[in-house]
Chain A
């Protein structure tokens, strides 16, 4: 699911800026090299390389810093996101842009000052500021860039700073030409301010949209939660009544209250069957709702091989009754994993029970567990009826049952696979299926260790 937390959003954009800075550093390095080696300009290369080193080192520091705050963000989200840590990260963003501009000013100063057209690359800093920062902060950055321009150019003009002429690129030394300086300054400043104005206009609108999207998303989550709680309450009440109905019907059905004539027995049996089916459905509904509502599930370490064996054991009788062979293989490196043991075992048993149900006699079900480094891959492959191609995307939906499954078994909740999906998603894993009608199905479950 998309994370709409404003704090992590800013962190993400800062990581984007860090990637851009790598490109910038590489570009500067290449340019300096070309100017020196190909165009043979006479420039002080040592300080230029120092600036590149500064860019690289500062970028590494930013990554360190952000990693620290990004984890803070994740731990305290979303409560802290809006206040304290957002302020800190916003400060980091401001500092980065300011330092980047200082680096650019240094590069410009050592490579021609006012004569160097790269001076206009400040516009990129303005665009980045407009994307990352507020409008006010962006205009402040534009003002800072303009001031920096004046200071460097003025100091060079007055001779307080040495001027490195870009001989070979320009025809006459321009750093003391006031008309030229004034013209460039005017265009430079207006360019920056207009760029900030345009870029912030767009980014403010985008941010507003993002905020309203976030609010809608939260509202939807809350609604969904309220709906789930409602489902939980209603189905629990239904279950209580069903339990009472069954408690009264079953003693009659098994003859405790006296012998029944065949017609009576038949009707009672029908009633018991229907309540059993309904009870089964309500229990499944309770199960999935409970998983959805639970904030956390009980996690421990356990042997994955053991729970798969237990799940296989649970269905082995039914498989044997249909002469279905059950094959199980585990890579030896599979050991303990972290998770909710009972949920996982029950879910695997459910998938296996499905396979047994929809695999004809004399079929074959193979279960394998493979080691995939950070995760494990469980595969349940059967020679069953398969799933029609156009229905494949829907089988994990709540209450959905494949058309050919309905033909084989009329009663079914259509909740088994959606429960499985919920359980797997709570483990940050993935479940998917490959199947062809008439040619069996293979369910895959990827679980982090």
Chain B
């Protein structure tokens, strides 16, 4: 059982993921934007962060990720980036994944994520920690 923070502005996606992760007895908290997300990261010290890219701005998620990885106390929290951004920006994540400064996340995947896939990725990141 782990504390997982979902930072995403789409309440329905959040609800879907929450149901899946709660079935594995994880404790879920939610933030609808980057600002509140960062606040909750500092207050709650989650074991894992699931982060959306496009929220208030088109790349808010990137900024949030950089902020989390910048601070000593939060930099070890794994981040799973969940996104549909490739469609709008044409960014190819595959080529950039190795560049930690550009995209400082531990794993990423396209929306929507199948329940089994979500569970698998989360377990993987938690066990790595």
A contact residues vs B (CB 8 Å cutoff): 232, 236, 239-240, 242-248, 250-251, 254, 256-257, 279, 283, 286, 290, 294, 298, 342
Does residue B16 face the partner (Cβ distance < 8 Å to A)?
yes
A342:B94 contact, CB within 8 angstroms: yes
Question: Given contacts A244-B16, A247-B16, A256-B19, are A239 and B115 in contact (CB under 8 A)?
Answer: no
A244:B12 contact, CB within 8 angstroms: yes
A247:B17 contact, CB within 8 angstroms: yes
Please report the C-alpha to C-alpha distance between residue A236 and residue B110 in the assembled complex, in whole angstroms.
13
- Complex interface: chain B residues within 8 A of A239 (CB): 84, 87
Chain B residues 95 to 116 lying within 8 A of chain A, measured CB to CB, are: 95, 111-116
Question: Given contacts A251-B19, A256-B20, are A244 and B84 in contact (CB under 8 A)?
Answer: no
Please report the C-alpha to C-alpha distance between residue A250 and residue B116 in the assembled complex, in whole angstroms.
10
Question: Can you identify 11 A-B contacts, CB atoms within 8 angstroms?
Answer: A239-B84, A240-B10, A240-B84, A243-B112, A244-B112, A247-B12, A247-B15, A247-B17, A247-B111, A251-B16, A256-B19
Most buried by A among B13, B17, B94, B116: B13
A278 vs chain B, min Cβ distance (A): 12
A342:B115 contact, CB within 8 angstroms: no
A7 vs chain B, min Cβ distance (A): 31
B5 vs chain A, min Cβ distance (A): 17
- Complex interface: chain A residues within 8 A of B94 (CB): 342
- Complex interface: chain B residues within 8 A of A242 (CB): 112
Q: A247-B15, A247-B16, A279-B112 are in contact. List 14 more A-B contacts (CB 8 A).
A: A236-B87, A243-B112, A244-B10, A244-B13, A247-B12, A250-B20, A250-B114, A250-B115, A254-B116, A256-B20, A256-B23, A256-B115, A286-B87, A342-B94
B: interface residue count bin: 20 to 34
- Complex interface: chain A residues within 8 A of B129 (CB): none
B15:A248 contact, CB within 8 angstroms: yes
B88:A236 contact, CB within 8 angstroms: yes
- Complex interface: chain A residues within 8 A of B95 (CB): 298, 342
- The listed residue (B15, B16, B87, B92) touching A298 by CB distance below 8 A is B92
Question: Given contacts A244-B13, A247-B16, A251-B20, are A290 and B115 in contact (CB under 8 A)?
Answer: no
Please report the C-alpha to C-alpha distance between residue A342 and residue B20 in the assembled complex, in whole angstroms.
32
Chain B residues 44 to 100 lying within 8 A of chain A, measured CB to CB, are: 84, 87-88, 90, 92, 94-95
Most buried by A among B16, B20, B113: B16
A257:B13 contact, CB within 8 angstroms: no
Please report the C-alpha to C-alpha distance between residue A51 and residue B103 in the assembled complex, in whole angstroms.
70
- Complex interface: chain A residues within 8 A of B114 (CB): 250
A243:B111 contact, CB within 8 angstroms: yes
Please report the C-alpha to C-alpha distance between residue A309 and residue B88 in the assembled complex, in whole angstroms.
30
Most buried by B among A245, A248, A298: A248
- The listed residue (B23, B90, B111) touching A290 by CB distance below 8 A is B90
B84:A243 contact, CB within 8 angstroms: yes
Chain B residues 10 to 35 lying within 8 A of chain A, measured CB to CB, are: 10, 12-13, 15-17, 19-20, 23
A254:B90 contact, CB within 8 angstroms: no
- Complex interface: chain A residues within 8 A of B113 (CB): 247
A49 vs chain B, min Cβ distance (A): 63
Please report the C-alpha to C-alpha distance between residue A181 and residue B78 in the assembled complex, in whole angstroms.
99
B110 vs chain A, min Cβ distance (A): 9
- Complex interface: chain A residues within 8 A of B20 (CB): 250-251, 256
Please report the C-alpha to C-alpha distance between residue A330 and residue B84 in the assembled complex, in whole angstroms.
37
- Complex interface: chain B residues within 8 A of A240 (CB): 10, 84, 111
Please report the C-alpha to C-alpha distance between residue A106 and residue B94 in the assembled complex, in whole angstroms.
70
- Complex interface: chain B residues within 8 A of A248 (CB): 12, 15-16
- For A300, the closest partner residue in chain B by CB is B95
Please report the C-alpha to C-alpha distance between residue A134 and residue B94 in the assembled complex, in whole angstroms.
55
Please report the C-alpha to C-alpha distance between residue A239 and residue B86 in the assembled complex, in whole angstroms.
12
B63 vs chain A, min Cβ distance (A): 20
Please report the C-alpha to C-alpha distance between residue A246 and residue B12 in the assembled complex, in whole angstroms.
10
- For A244, the closest partner residue in chain B by CB is B12
B98 vs chain A, min Cβ distance (A): 15
Which 8 residue pairs are nearest across A and B when measured between Cβ atoms? Answer: A247-B16, A244-B12, A243-B112, A246-B112, A243-B111, A256-B23, A251-B19, A286-B87
Please report the C-alpha to C-alpha distance between residue A279 and residue B114 in the assembled complex, in whole angstroms.
13
- Complex interface: chain A residues within 8 A of B10 (CB): 240, 244
- Complex interface: chain A residues within 8 A of B15 (CB): 247-248
Please report the C-alpha to C-alpha distance between residue A290 and residue B116 in the assembled complex, in whole angstroms.
30
Please report the C-alpha to C-alpha distance between residue A250 and residue B87 in the assembled complex, in whole angstroms.
22
Question: Given contacts A244-B12, A248-B12, are A257 and B88 in contact (CB under 8 A)?
Answer: no
- For A246, the closest partner residue in chain B by CB is B112
Most buried by B among A254, A257, A279: A254
